[in-house]
Amino acid sequence: MTNLIGWCSTLILLFTVSSQVYEQWRTRSVRGVSHWLFTGQLAASTGFVIYSVLQGDWVFVASNVMLLVTALVGQVLFLRNRRRSSNSE
């Protein structure tokens, strides 16, 4: 039951962050998106992955690796879209 709660929470958070990443990809815009959203997510997920490995909590390791990848994609899209937006102005 404990792992089920962890996985369900992971799916909710992953869906939330992925929705923002998808929206950035779809619109190719940075409008309304803070640069700190993905920077903070990258830092937090990296720390949580390390912590989870040290704790031996493999549900949390897998969850945070997925969130880390999602945040990395979001950051790359944010920077690409910001560059495009700056070049078109």
10-residue stretch averages of pLDDT, the chain, 89 residues long: 80 84 83 81 88 89 90 90 80
Angle between helices 58-88 and 2-27 (to 10 degrees): 10
**What pLDDT is stored for residue 59 in this prediction?**
85
Whole-Å CA distances, 79 to 22, 30, 57, 83, 87 = 14, 8, 33, 6, 12
**Element of type H or E holding 25:** helix 2-27
Q: End-to-end CA distance of the chain, in Å?
A: 53
Per-residue pLDDT, 89: 64
